[in-house]
Amino acid sequence: MAEPHRALRHEHDEDGSHTEHAVPRLMIVPHRHTKIIHLIRHGQGYHNVAGHANPEAYKSIDFMDAHLTPYGWAQARKLNSHIKQLGSRFRADAIIVSPLMRTLETAAGVFGSGLWQEDDLPPPLMLRQSEVPGKRAAQEAISAAGCPPLIAWEGCREHLGQHPCDKRRPIREIAPRFPAVDFSLIGSDEDVLWQSANWRESHEEIRRRGVKLMHWLHQRPESQLAVVSHSSFLFFMMSAFGHAAAPSVQSELHKWFETCELRTVVLADEGGAHGHADMLHFPGEHSVNMEEES
C-alpha cells in the first residue's frame, strides 16, 4: 500500500535554512456521531506463561479457558489504580467483555471496587475463588458497587479454534461466578463458535468480527464504552481501520496489545447512519428581524 500523502509546511529559519513541519490532517465530525472506546487486553493468563515457554502449550487441553495468573491479577489492580488516578478524564458508561475467564477476571479486577462483604447490598461482581496450583489464582470476592454495567458479548472473543485456551466454558458454569455481569446476549450455553482443534479462524474473519463489533458499539446508546478483549482479536480488528492515516498514526493503531494494556480511540461515523443524543448541542433561534443579524 502506498504511503498516504503528507502535507508539509516550510518555514525559513534565521540562518537561511528551512524546516519542514507536517501539517495536521484534521477531520471534523459532529460530536453525536463519535464515541470514545477504551480497548483493554486481559492480564497475563496461565496459558501465556506456558505458551511463551513452549508455543505447543497453546494446544494443550490443560489450559482450556485459562485463568489469570497472580501476576495477571496484579496487572488488573495496577490498571484499576491508574484509572482511579485519571478521575473524570476516564469514563465508561458500560463495559463490553469477552465471556472467557481471563477477560471476565480482568474486568472484575480493573473495574471492581474492592472486596465484597457479606452485608453489601449489590451482588458481587465476582465470587471468591480458591487456588488451583498452576491453573487458577486465589481471589477474594470483588464488589460491584459503583461499577458501570458489564455486558458479556461473544463477538469480542479471541481467535477461534485450535487453541483450547480460547474455548469458553458453559455459561451455566461461568455466570454464577460473576453475578453482576449480564450474560443475556450469549445465545448458547455451550460454546458453538470454537468448533474444533483442527480448525482455525482466518485473520480476515477476525477483522470482520472486529468491524461488526465497532458497528454494534456505534449503535449502542452510550457515548463512552470499554471493551475487555484479547490480543489477536484487538490486533486484527484495528488492522481494518486507519489505512488512510499517516504512518505515525497507523503505527499507534496497528501494534500488538501488551497484557492489561489500555488504549483509547475515537470511533467516528462520517456517514451519519447513527448518532447518540448530544446534550452539548444547544440550538439557536432563527432571527426574524434581519436587522438583528450582523
Active-site residues, by number, are: 42, 158
The edge-to-edge listing of strands for the beta sheet with 262-268 is: 181-182, 150-152, 94-97, 224-229, 34-41, 262-268
C-alpha grid cell, residue 139:
481471589
244 in Cβ contact with 22 (< 8 Å): no
**C-alpha pair distances (Å), 127 with each of 46, 96, 120, 136, 168:** 20, 19, 13, 14, 18
25 in Cβ contact with 250 (< 8 Å): no
C-alpha grid cell, residue 150:
458489564
Residue 100 exposed, middle or buried by CB count within 10 Å (0-12, 13-18, 19+): buried
CA atoms within 13 A on the CB side of 14: 0
Q: Find the length of the chain.
A: 294
Terminal Cα distance for the chain, rounded? 49
